[in-house]
Amino acid sequence: MPEIRHTPVGRTMVQRLAAGSAIDAHRHDNHQIVYAGCGVLSVTTERGRWIAPATRAIWVPAGTTHEHRAYGETDLHTVGLPPGENPLGLAEPTVLAVGPLLRELIISYTRDPTDLGAERDRLRAVLLDQLRRSPLEPIQLPSPHDSRLAAVCQLLHDNPADGRPLARLGAAVGASERTLSRLFRTELHMTFPQWRTQLRLHQALILLAENVPVTAVAHRCGWSSASAFIDVFRRAFGHTPGRTPN
């Protein structure tokens, strides 16, 4: 990562990010909930990348060096919490499910951070209560460290539609299928098919935010048909790729 900025306080705020814009590597003293009211937001650390559409938020623990990137025009809502207030006890970035109520609470709470009234305190209490009930979502793309594994992952980053089996990908980088299978499990804590599906879903979210048609997204990300893509997407995110959640 480039030079790291230290932001003493993780503020509660809302800001509009242009498509493709980024917030460079930084860290702050408070925990943050980051949420894209529209568009798609990614958070990247040295451990991997987390990506969230409007049905998800990302928990960023205090002190975590991270970068943001917006895909599509994005309304970035951030809720700062002091280090001693960790409703879910999370020590690493995590994707959280955001239902309709939690979505409206985040949007309302970040609308006017200067409001110090009792009504806003009650709003915050309900927000934290809903946060405690929010399911954790395994929507992460962990970063490899072994050079052979990294080479295979890069091939698929460059072309998510690459359908070669692991043995052929391994031959291209000089590693056996058995070795790579072991590395996927030990380093990335998932199987090769699981990791490839996560990669394709991440890329699909980015393309959808850029208004690429669903059929084209399915093709460019390696699904055999639009219907196959829609089925996987619905199971992962709870809605079809052609619909923007309200």
31-76 pLDDT, tens per residue?
999 999 888 889 998 888 998 888 889 999 999 999 999 998 888 8
Classify residue 128 by burial, with Cβ atoms within 10 Å: 0-12, 13-18, 19+.
middle
127/152 same-domain check? no
Q: Under DSSP, is residue 192 helix (H, G, I), strand (E, B) or coil?
A: helix
168/123 same-domain check? no
Domain span holding position 161: 144-237
pLDDT on residue 225: 95
pLDDT on residue 15: 86
CA distance 81 to 33: 8
Residue 242: inside a domain, yes or no? no
9/91 same-domain check? yes
CATH (domain of 211): 1.10.10.60
Buried b (16+ CB within 10 A) or exposed e, 198-219: bbbbbbbbbbbbeeeebeebbb
Residue 158 phi/psi, 5-degree rounding, is -70, -30
127/11 same-domain check? yes
Q: Is the pLDDT of residue 12 over 90?
A: no
Segment holding 74, helix H or strand E? strand 74-81
Which band of pLDDT confidence, cut at 50, 70 and 90, is reported for residue 244?
A: low
Q: Is the pLDDT of residue 8 over 50?
A: no
pLDDT on residue 1: 42
CA distance 68 to 78: 12
Predicted confidence (pLDDT) per residue in 101-147, tens digit: 999 999 999 887 777 778 888 988 999 999 888 888 777 898 899 99
Question: Which of these ranges, 82-96, 144-158, 178-192, has the smallest mean pLDDT?
Answer: 82-96
Q: Is the pLDDT of residue 10 over 90?
A: no
Residue 244: inside a domain, yes or no? no
Segment holding 52, helix H or strand E? strand 48-52
Q: Is the pLDDT of residue 212 over 70?
A: yes
Read off the tokens for 39: 């568009």
Which band of pLDDT confidence, cut at 50, 70 and 90, is reported for residue 2?
A: very low
Question: Which of these ranges, 79-83, 199-203, 235-239, has the smallest mean pLDDT?
Answer: 235-239
Indicate the number of domains in the chain. 2
CA distance 25 to 1: 7
Q: Is the pLDDT of residue 6 over 80?
A: no
Q: What share of the chain in percent tops pLDDT 70?
A: 93
Q: What share of the chain in percent tops pLDDT 90?
A: 52
133/153 same-domain check? no
Residue 35: inside a domain, yes or no? yes
Average pLDDT of the chain, as a whole number: 88
132/51 same-domain check? yes
Question: Which of these ranges, 173-182, 222-231, 236-245, has the smallest mean pLDDT?
Answer: 236-245
Which band of pLDDT confidence, cut at 50, 70 and 90, is reported for residue 85?
A: confident
pLDDT on residue 4: 53
Which band of pLDDT confidence, cut at 50, 70 and 90, is reported for residue 9?
A: very low
Query: 107-112 long-range contacts, Cβ below 8 Å, gap at least 24?
Result: 107/14, 107/37, 107/77, 109/12, 109/79, 110/12, 110/13, 110/14, 110/77, 110/78, 110/79, 111/14
92 DSSP 8-state letter: S
